[in-house]
Structure 1
Amino acid sequence: MATFLVTPAMVSATTVSKQDVVSHYADLAHSVYSDSLTTAQGLDKAIDTFIASPSQQTLEKARLAWKASRVPYQQSEVFRFGNSVVDDWEGQLNAWPLDEGLIDYVADDYQYELGNEGAKANIVASRSVQVGNQQLDTAKITPALLADLNEIGGSEANVATGYHAIEFLLWGQDLNGTNPGAGQRQFTDFAYGDACTNGNCERRREYLKAASVLLQNDLSWMTQQWSPEVNDNYRAELLADSADNGLRKMLFGMGSLSLGELAGERMKVALEANSTEDEHDCFSDNTHNSHYYNEQGIYNVYTGTYKRVNGTLVSGPSIHDLVANKDKAAAEAIQAEFDRARSQVYTLVESAEKQNQAFDQLIAAGNQAGNALVNESIMALVKQTESIEQAASIIGVSNLNPDTADHQF
């Protein structure tokens, strides 16, 4: 997956208003969620082809479609923090880490959250599931059923839906630990008749399709929330509020994703515990791309730019423009910090694609160089967050306090 360079110089340098910036932010969100929906629809088509004719070739095409769907979605996570309509919704699409034994068969030595009674429920193999006092009829696997199974028994590790449930079904467990290699699920796990391996192939096909349908439904709803053509949606609510409140949401979202979520939950936790269980896209070993496109999303909001999946560039009034109107020298320094952070996080992609060292290898206890590379990315994100706070101060947004997720840096 190639990177791309978009700089604020591409955007008109004319003076812009705070309201212009917030309005364009809504346009960016709509573009990103529209692309997330489009790529999820492409994934669904690949899943249909795979289900109709399971083979190594159709499985690989479904896996590639899944990876493609992650590109715009990961850039959308910058809209989570500060916009409760997104943050309250996103768990059904992107919750992790998950106890995959809730969904399907797992290895005998599978590690799961202590006390999670749903960790080995195996929905694929079970026509009814009981977790504590909760019992559900799982005879017919539907999108609604899967949504009801999320966090069954009160455990956040019981994730039945979203990108990572689909990822697990397409790849299976990654049993390589911190050694090279991703999950190696056989395509015959979805085969027909005597070719079926590990049993319950029909139900596994039903689960995969139901999860895909639910993913599209959820993304369609969120796309509508940001659409300029829909009345009384979240976009209308955001633009009816003050521009200063809109800017606060933008900056808080950028800072919280940069610091507490990406630097903290997604990198620091996994690095300090040397834990592949805390790797984001752990079944597919796609974590380096997920981290990079999270960072790209932060960059997009600061610069007011977004490269759509069809190659067109969305650009408009930005926070960078507001900062430059107040202090050109500070704007240049802040932009340089964003450029450094994006370049540093991209080294994780280069490690995976050029040195064949994916994120799960970089965090291994004995990999000093890999640990250092991840730590450098963490520190670049910390510095970027400081620049976000500086930008906020310059344009008059005080006491930003981005979420640290209780991490110390």
Structure 2
Amino acid sequence: MRFKTTTAIALISLAAAPVFAQSKTEVLGTYADIAQAGYADSLATAQTLQQAVDALIAEPSAEALQAARAAWLAARVPYQQTEVFRFGNAIVDDWEGKVNAWPLDEGLIDYVDASYGGVSDENALAALNVVANPVFTLGGEEVDAAQITPALLEGQLHEAGAIESNVATGYHAIEFLLWGQDLNGTDFGAGNRPWTDYATGADCTNDNCDRRGDYLKAATDLLVSDLVWMADQWAEGGAARQAVLEDETAGINAILTGMGSLSYGEQAGERMKLGVMLNDPEEEHDCFSDNTHNSHYYDGLGVRNVYLGEYLRVDGSVVSGPSLSDLVAAADATVDQDLRDRLNTTMVELAQIKTAAEAGFSYDMMLARGNAEGEALIMSAVDALVDQTRAIERAVTVLGTGALAFEGSDSLDDPNAVFE
């Protein structure tokens, strides 16, 4: 079954008549303006989330928890569109793991179902449960966690033991604290944490409600401060903007690297095809909230944004200017049109997934072994992303800025290695 949608069709009409760029510097300026606007929107929506979290902690209720969840979902829309800036920009890549690392061993943070298991050879901290333990041992030293603070999360817990799955900060730690584990496997349904996990006194469920609230607040406050910092890096005089503008060739290559690496190794490979190969809902990007269909969609849109040089802000205004598409069209109009077409095809395929999920065929259901319909939806988008990457490679060639290496994935490059 194919799910009909008008979402992507509306997108195709954007930037139909490009204005040719006068210089690479102007193109890089547009790119930096879109980055700054995207991180500013991410910050604004995270501050709304912060307010909702504060309200939940102050007066816990089912309605307050739902409001916090809705704010988290809204915050993901602009942030996912900024992921294209990660690859090719060292400032972003070095920072990104603090705010969007996944998957995570959620037992590090809070209680988990017995089916989760516990300590493993790979991660001795997988069931640490900081919420329940004001004192614990980390790296052979006793840690005083009586006060759960941003400094504790960032300085001692996040990636503790140099283990990437010890994710203590960022969107996904907050997501887990709002939704709890998704115990539905590849059946329909997201996490279902009760609001009483934040209640006071005798109404508290699963113990340590005050500390759970402290963790949620610390993680949310830290996310806001991290986004303040990144938005500043792309403002006038910011380090990320300056790094892009100071060398035209390196700057153009940063745009292309971000587009190609997110399209290919990260999204098509690690975030999509790998999950299909393993039939594993734990490979969902937003696995607790069942929001993965939106994360994939807005990742794809972010790639399209930077190529066309336009970004639709949360407030409805548009940031636009001379674009990479203009430069490619000036060098070879056929290559530009082919890349535009493939970007549009990708958005249509991602919109099919989004529409299906919103109609009740959730992404984790698509990942179920033997679900041919779900596999077809996901793999059609994977194939479109791979084709899009090939078109990006042709754009690299016509621009003549030098050979680039995009991020890869065993799921695409060496599938047998996935099962070794």
Structure 1 residue aligned with 2:288, among 283, 287, 292?
283
Matches within 5 A, 1:5-404: 5=11, 7=13, 9=15, 12-111=18-117, 114-148=121-155, 149-228=157-236, 231=237, 233-240=239-246, 242-354=247-359, 356-404=360-408
Q: 2: distance between equivalents of 1:252 and 1:233?
A: 19
Counterpart in the other structure of 2:3: none
Following superposition, the deviation at residue 16 of structure 1 comes to: 2.7
Amino acid at match of 1:67: L
Q: Helix, strand or coil for the counterpart of 2:116?
A: coil
Distance 2:141 2:298 in 1: 38
- In structure 2, distance between residues paired with 1:202 and 1:276: 30
Shift of 1:396: 1.6
CA contact (8 A) 1:6 1:305 kept: no
Change (3 A) 1:111 1:376: farther
Distance 1:277 1:111, change over 3 A: farther
Deviations 1:266-309 (A, max 9, x none): 01111111111111100000000001100010000110010000
* Percent of aligned pairs sharing the same letter: 50
Count of residue pairs brought into register by the alignment = 405
Deviations 1:143-194 (A, max 9, x none): 0101120111221111111000000000000000000000000000000111
- Counterparts of 1:232 and 1:185, CA distance in 2: 40
- Report the residue type matching 2:101 in the other structure: A
CA distance, structure 1, for counterparts of residue 142 and residue 352 of structure 2: 47
Post-superposition offset of 1:137: 1.4
Q: Is the 8 A contact 1:39 1:69 kept in 2?
A: yes
Amino acid at match of 1:215: L
CA distance in 1, matches of 2:184, 2:32: 42
Does the 8 A contact of 1:16 with 1:321 survive in 2?
no
Give secondary structure in 2 for the equivalent of 1:135: strand
Unpaired segments ≥5 residues, structure 2: 1-5, 414-420
Deviation per residue, 1:314-361 (Å, 9 max, x gap) = 11111111111122232222211110011111111011012x111111
Instruction: Tell me the distance in 1 between the aligned counterparts of 2:392 and 2:14.
Output: 15
Contact 1:150–1:158 (CA under 8 A) maintained in structure 2: yes
Could you tell me how far apart the structure 1 residues matched to 2:301 and 2:88 are? 18
Distance 1:135 1:153, change over 3 A: farther
- Paired with 2:141 and 2:74, the residues of 1 have a C-alpha distance of 36
Distance 1:38 1:181 in 2: 29
Give the deviation of 1:265 after TM superposition.
Answer: 0.8
- The 3 A distance-change label for structure 1 pair 58 and 406 is same
The secondary structure found in structure 2 opposite 1:245 is helix
**Letter of the aligned partner of 2:53 in structure 1?**
I
> Greater shift after overlay, 254-263 or 130-139?
130-139
Give the drift of 1:371: 0.9
Q: Work out whether residues 134 and 152 of structure 1, in 8 Å CA contact, stay in contact via their aligned partners in 2.
A: no
The 3 A distance-change label for structure 1 pair 111 and 2 is: farther
Superposition deviation, residue 406 in structure 1: 4.0
User: Distance between the aligned counterparts of 1:320 and 1:306, measured in 2?
Assistant: 14
Q: Which residue identity does 2:407 align to in structure 1?
A: D
CA contact (8 A) 1:8 1:320 kept: no
Deviation at 1:260, TM superposition (A): 0.5
Q: Aligned partners of 2:24 and 2:382: how far apart in 1?
A: 30
Which amino acid is the alignment partner of residue 333 of structure 2?
K
Structure 2 counterpart SS, 1:89: helix
Separation in structure 2 between the aligned mates of residue 332 and residue 34 of structure 1, nearest angstrom: 31
SS of residue matched to 2:172: helix
Deviations 1:76-119 (A, max 9, x none): 11000110100010111011000000000000110576431111
CA distance in 1, matches of 2:79, 2:15: 26
Rounded to whole Å, the distance in 2 between the matches of 1:232 and 1:304 is 20
